[in-house]
Structure 1
Amino acid sequence: MTNEGASRIDRVSVRSGRVRRAIPLKTNPHDLAISPGGNRAWVTLDGTDDIAIVNLLRKRVRRYLSTGKSPHDVLFAPGGRRVWVTDWRGSVHAFSRKGELLTSINRGVALHHLVFTRDGRQAWVTDGGGDQVLIISTRSLRVVAAKSIKGSPHHVALTPNGRRVVVADHDRGNCGRVRCCHSSASEDDTGRPSTPRGLGRTVIRSKVLADQRIVAVASERE
């Protein structure tokens, strides 16, 4: 896990909850993605333009990679051959697993979180500054649709059956639900986004549980 205050990533025992290993970084780590093989981690560094690529077997930083912008969220695409990074300046960057920049997609204002569909054909990216969710084809690396979301879309989660995407609204304390499909982003069965209200706090993260009926929400007090 990332330890932003201590500028390091920690390996924590699930049983004891104790830190087993700490790998120092040059500044505040924010998000972390581990390769499918478990031997490498990509870490975005808050307040910088850099990403740290960490060798988890040798327990040291392999290299620092500059995006030229402010990286925020990072995630390995299905199959582990590409790594996607969002930034606060409205771009999504696709890298090879070796760190080669494949493309940068500049279609947002302040991009935050991303999730891939189960078949890996689409990436859904929240744009809190643009009040929208971008849907990107992982094959063409182009935006194929944009879903307008009132408020400030923050985190996004895919239901286990892959049919719905749940979007957390950072400003209003709501969660919106939209249907997930391959060619475009359509609204829910009702013809409008489903937005349960009354959470009363600022929603920062959502997670759909295995039974697909419950959304676990992390929030902070206003």
Structure 2
Amino acid sequence: MKIRLLSTLAMIAGSMLAGHLPAYAGQAPYAGTAPDFPISHRDRVYAAEQFSNTVSVIDPVDNKLLGVIRLGDPQPANFSPLYKGQVLVHGMGFSPDRKTIAVVSIGSNSVSFIDTATNTVKHTTYVGRSPHEAFFTPDGSEVWVTVRGENYVAVLDAKTFEEKTRIKTPNGPGMQIFSPDGKYGYICSSFNPETDVVSVADHRIVARIQQASPFCPNIAATPDGRQVWLTLKDIGKTQVFNAQPPFDPIKTLDTGPITNHVNFAHNANGTFAYVTIGGLNEVKVFRTDSFEHVATIPVGNLPHGIWPSGDGSRIYVGLENADAMAAIDTMTNTVIATVPVGQAPQAIVYVPEAVPEGAGTDNLTPLGGAGQATHLDLAVSANGKPGKAVTTVTLFDQGLIQVLQAAVTNLEPRKPYVLALAETETGKGTLQPLAAFMTNPAGSAIVNTAGPIRQIVQSTAKAEKRYLVITEGTAAQPGAVVQIQAR
């Protein structure tokens, strides 16, 4: 007994000298045997923001926005043929040593490598058309970038940041993540119903898993190395398969319309999967051992990216249509803070001990105009009056114009609709189409357009004011009004 006690005390002392408490279970993306990192002022939460082209930087101790890293300009500056900044800042990963974050910009086909200590870009690598996500291999030697607009994963050398090889996949690789031991890479597809398992050592595909639908935006591996979870945004489901050979299917869960991202947190109660459901503005929580649905957490408009703290006590969620990040206590599954960030946060990462010393605020700039937006709801049209609110709309200010993004739900699956401006609150009169779209199999859609829309829908002049509506049909032949502006 004395020997065991001395051994335990030695382990605790060694762990404390290393700068963190004893290892109970690692958090994603580390292995379950890795040490936890108690939340500290040295940690950072990062959000990649699509319309302001910024990365927000948050101190998780007091959930305070420290500032933003500006990778590019909003519209219309980024329309110039001489524009050199990044466009559609979207995906994000970080190095195992926690010194570098890799930020993908879809519109400029780039990966920006940012030093976490100084908040500066130390290198930019340009890859193929419309990259989506970038992650470092667990040994830190490579960075894999899914080039979603083409048919390959670009493998970059993590020291030189130059492309060294490509892994051919079906068209539209959506995202990749690695087994905690670094043996396998898992690559889901956004355009084809197939997830590929790749041997990291030789970059060869060793297995193919059937996706229940073609559109997977996000994939994650459990820290114990046993399961891989992937989200299926178009059908509102989350799929689980065995992370080890034979990589067989385990479970498919009905999660909800606009199922976005998934990640894991381990605490005293077990290991849990957290899934962001954009159409319901919720995060759903499932046990990874029994797949029991244990909690539903209202978080705000269009939850997207999600990542756990280094000790699993919190999980952070980007709210795409609220320009905010929500912090969730994983023991109570309640929102404990909501932090303003830039426009349309997409990927989120929590980087333990990102700042080795000092305040870690060098080269950050204030949020400023990057946080300006207007929020509206569309509701079911019930005899010309708004009923239940089912669609959230955000107008992201870009100077004289706004980028409009609507998270549309509660429509018929696989049917054409039109987002339009109407002369009256009920949708009667002449319609001005803004965007035609087709709903997915879950009866939902993400709809984007741009213009001076805020000035029109909030006009104080009755003769000039217009109202957002959704109609059946096409822009050439709009049909019945099914949703109208609620506020």
Q: TM-score range by the shorter chain?
A: 0.7 to 0.9
For residues 62 and 209 of structure 1, the distance between their equivalents in structure 2, rounded to whole angstroms, comes to: 31
Aligned CA distance change for structure 1 residues 48 and 17 (closer, same or farther; 3 Å): same
Q: Which has the higher strand share?
A: 1
For residues 91 and 42 of structure 1, the distance between their equivalents in structure 2, rounded to whole angstroms, comes to: 18
Residue 159 of structure 1: aligned partner = 222
For residues 198 and 243 of structure 2, the distance between their equivalents in structure 1, rounded to whole angstroms, comes to: 12
| C-alpha contact 2:256 2:277 (8 A) present in aligned 1 | no
**Any gaps of 5 or more consecutive residues in structure 2?**
1-45, 72-84, 280-443, 445-487
Percent identity over paired residues: 19
> What amino acid is aligned across from residue 277 of structure 2 in structure 1?
S
Match status 1:91 vs 2:152 = yes
| C-alpha contact 2:123 2:161 (8 A) present in aligned 1 | no
Give, in angstroms, the shift of residue 137 of structure 1.
0.7
What are the superposed Cα offsets for residues 23-44 of structure 1, whole Å, 9 maximum, x if unpaired?
2212232122222333322210
- Name the SS for the 1:5 alignment partner: coil
| C-alpha contact 2:260 2:277 (8 A) present in aligned 1 | yes
> What amino acid is aligned across from residue 106 of structure 1 in structure 2?
K
Q: What does residue range 24-39 of structure 1 map to in structure 2 within 5 Å?
A: 24-25=70-71, 26-27=85-86, 28-39=88-99
Q: What does residue range 68-83 of structure 1 map to in structure 2 within 5 Å?
A: 68-83=128-143
Match status 1:16 vs 2:78 = no
Match status 1:195 vs 2:241 = no
Match status 1:53 vs 2:109 = no
For residues 191 and 127 of structure 2, the distance between their equivalents in structure 1, rounded to whole angstroms, comes to: 20
| C-alpha contact 1:133 1:147 (8 A) present in aligned 2 | yes
Give, in angstroms, the shift of residue 67 of structure 1.
0.7
| C-alpha contact 1:50 1:65 (8 A) present in aligned 2 | yes
Give, in angstroms, the shift of residue 107 of structure 1.
1.4
Match status 1:106 vs 2:162 = no
Q: 162, 175, 179: which one pairs with 2:242?
A: 179
Q: 238, 260, 264: which one pairs with 1:204?
A: 260
Aligned length: 214
For residues 33 and 180 of structure 1, the distance between their equivalents in structure 2, rounded to whole angstroms, comes to: 20
Residue 191 of structure 1: aligned partner = none
Higher relative contact order (CA 8 A, sep 6+): 2
For residues 265 and 120 of structure 2, the distance between their equivalents in structure 1, rounded to whole angstroms, comes to: 34
Q: Which has the higher helix share?
A: 2
Residue 184 of structure 2: aligned partner = 122
Give, in angstroms, the shift of residue 164 of structure 1.
1.4
**Any gaps of 5 or more consecutive residues in structure 1?**
189-193
What are the superposed Cα offsets for residues 36-74 of structure 1, whole Å, 9 maximum, x if unpaired?
333322210121211112233343222321113221111
Using structure 2 for the length normalisation, give the TM-score.
0.42
- Name the SS for the 1:54 alignment partner: strand
The CA RMSD measured in Å over matched residues stands at: 1.8
Using structure 1 for the length normalisation, give the TM-score.
0.88
Q: 273, 280, 294: which one pairs with 1:215?
A: 273
For residues 105 and 55 of structure 2, the distance between their equivalents in structure 1, rounded to whole angstroms, comes to: 11
For residues 4 and 169 of structure 1, the distance between their equivalents in structure 2, rounded to whole angstroms, comes to: 21
| C-alpha contact 1:135 1:143 (8 A) present in aligned 2 | yes
* Bigger radius of gyration: 2
Residue 43 of structure 1: aligned partner = 103
What are the superposed Cα offsets for residues 140-196 of structure 1, whole Å, 9 maximum, x if unpaired?
1111111111213332222232111112111111111211215x42233xxxxx212
| C-alpha contact 2:114 2:121 (8 A) present in aligned 1 | yes
For residues 140 and 114 of structure 1, the distance between their equivalents in structure 2, rounded to whole angstroms, comes to: 16
> What amino acid is aligned across from residue 98 of structure 2 in structure 1?
G
For residues 10 and 165 of structure 1, the distance between their equivalents in structure 2, rounded to whole angstroms, comes to: 28
Residue 7 of structure 1: aligned partner = 53
